[in-house]
Structure 1
């Protein structure tokens, strides 16, 4: 089953990531549009089912340059996040590339790290992989936001960000700028990172993204200013209301003055 992301309501069908993004869209949060593929739909795509491939072709035409993200049925819960264990493929265009990305995401459910994490958490060792297909935001700056300090447990926003796509932070390609912000928006601390490389969508060439040098005048400049930090604090507060919790692990992107919520999961307990 392939459905509009806003209509993905059942985590047992579309996975936690898709269901939480669907809830965010329905609440009016700034989530890039796209589609959710159930685990059955992913299997149909992998099996080259004609009807499923036709649906992917139609979705590809609508979504354009895309982010293809894992949404396994036991992923992004309060007990098991699988952060970094499953694959996301960014910057893909066209039905053939999207199908290849879906297949790659499905395979990542059985990579050694994911299987080891499943064993550690006492979960079924075979992943039931659903997928999120979203329009890619060609970000000026992006990163991650925790609404509780992951080291001290303090009730504050801890933010890491860099120039370009957030993949540079998630993959450890750069040392990001880091910020501590009190609930309500008061900045507590900031530390400049080492951000000489950015991940950007490829304009030409075989790969969907590429690593490019950051402009010399931006390398030693914080990528989030006061206005952007205030926008992130406001987004976190809105997530409190939407999800009935104050614990959020958020991936975000800025394009100009516009802030986008790319992923939201509970802060994992284990």
Structure 2
């Protein structure tokens, strides 16, 4: 979460990072490597830089496995590279720091910070779009940083870095994985904070709960915003979140066929949480959407302890099965 404006905004930003560990893509990856346990996420709070250039560096080629440094860079904050918003400059160095390859990208935008929080996409001057953003001295500094990181943390490092006022900053250093570094865009701005308790009591599954029970569950949920057209869950992926809709609509589809339209008071995503299997359908925002999510780690004990919720979920599943049979 970039450019958190004040200390009062930090708790929400930390919760956003925590929630990211329960995204379908993160769950699918952890299931694939046999790590389907409740995630424990440590959040680092850093001063935001205003870099001239930033990007990523692998101390071993992540595709070929060659013993060389692979660097991708762009103007401004490194989010442009990590999120795939530009075609970055591409560099390869050998272990001694000798430049093996340099290839200019197409860097039409630079991510910059806003004075009151958040970021924006700044158009890059035409002359800089295809101009290399790193010189030989900066590449040499990155080669030295790679050696230092491997000495301290071990081989095969995935590093995020930035240059500000001529100084090189190490932002992150972790083990290389086989996954993509593509990130997710920040959620679109939404309306003022809502009352999750009121939203809960509009959902049939939770309708018979008293205020105290609803408040207990409301403390477990996370408000989520999705733009029209955004995919919320994907058929076949792993899942660790159950959602209920506050405002807006979603389209539910399977194998390319549209199955249903859901709106305020409806819920989705519970099947994969109950049987541990992959998502049974794709859910896409049909309009700007506000919903609440609760993770598998809170959802399961909630159902185990509350027979009313369990029974209503069974009724909802039976209704969907009957509709599928009739269809």
Say if 2:46 is the partner of 1:134: yes
Tell me if 1:230 matches 2:148: no
Unaligned runs of at least 5 residues, structure 2: 180-327
Q: 1:216 aligns with which of 115, 120, 126?
A: 126
Q: Within 5 Å, which residues of 2 pair with 1:137-216?
A: 137-204=49-116, 208-216=118-126
Deviation beyond 2 Å, 4+ runs, structure 1: none
1:265 maps to 174
Equivalent in the alignment of 1:112 = 24
Q: What's the CA shift for 1:149?
A: 1.1
Q: What is the CA RMSD across the aligned residues, in angstroms?
A: 1.5
- TM-score calculated relative to the size of structure 1: 0.63
Structure 1: state its 5+ residue gaps.
Answer: 1-88
Which residue is equivalent to 1:252?
161
TM-fit CA distance, 1:269: 6.5
SS at structure 2 position matched to 1:106:
helix
Question: C-alpha offsets along residues 100-145 of structure 1, whole Å, 9 cap, x if unaligned?
Answer: 1111111112111111111111113422222111111111100000
Map 1:19-168; keep pairs closer than 5 Å: 89-168=1-80
Query: Please, what TM-score do these two structures have when normalized by structure 2?
Result: 0.53
> How many angstroms apart in 2 are the aligned matches of 1:128 and 1:150?
26
Contact 2:58/2:158 (CA < 8 Å) preserved in 1?
Answer: yes
Q: CA deviation at 1:148?
A: 0.9
Match of 1:33? none
Deviation for aligned residue 1:215 = 2.1
1:256 is displaced (CA, Å) by 2.2
Q: Secondary structure at the match of 1:100?
A: helix
- Tell whether the 8 Å contact from 2:62 to 2:178 is kept in structure 1 after alignment: no
Secondary structure, in 3 states, of the residue corresponding to 1:169? helix
Q: Do the aligned residues in 2 keep the contact of 1:109 with 1:126 (CA within 8 Å)?
A: no
